[in-house]
Structure 1
């Protein structure tokens, strides 16, 4: 299964230093053993079209071998460290899970 998360950062955290710290936090999520793979990214500089949403600052895509592993990840202590560390940085977060 795939787990997609889109982050909109508050303006105060859109500087180079804070972005680097946030990127380290995103990368650390892949050290959680339940995560089978994935990556984080910023919006690609593609041709703008009406169907393209580039309003977000970061996207996180994670792969899990099962829904059970995804659900265990949701309560994993290291996942909660990430949330606790950065939740005040987010203007908005959207999660989209795919079977």
Structure 2
């Protein structure tokens, strides 16, 4: 299983717009990707392709999250998702 951390860059956190961008990208990957706050157990991670789950996570600006995926291309897929989270979509 591949794992990456990302720091939320959007100034207002993972609200509707950045959550939608991230969830759509995660859903397009063809892999099961999960997201959780840093320090939370892996079994509590949420479906990264669900906008409602992403918004329910309540991740704020500067908070660190953990992304996990398994399968062919997981490392590259997670790098793509990290770049999305580490971009300020409120700028």
User: TM-score normalised to the size of structure 2?
Assistant: 0.43
- Larger Cα Rg: Structure 1 or Structure 2? 1
Higher strand share: 1
User: TM-score normalised to the size of structure 1?
Assistant: 0.41
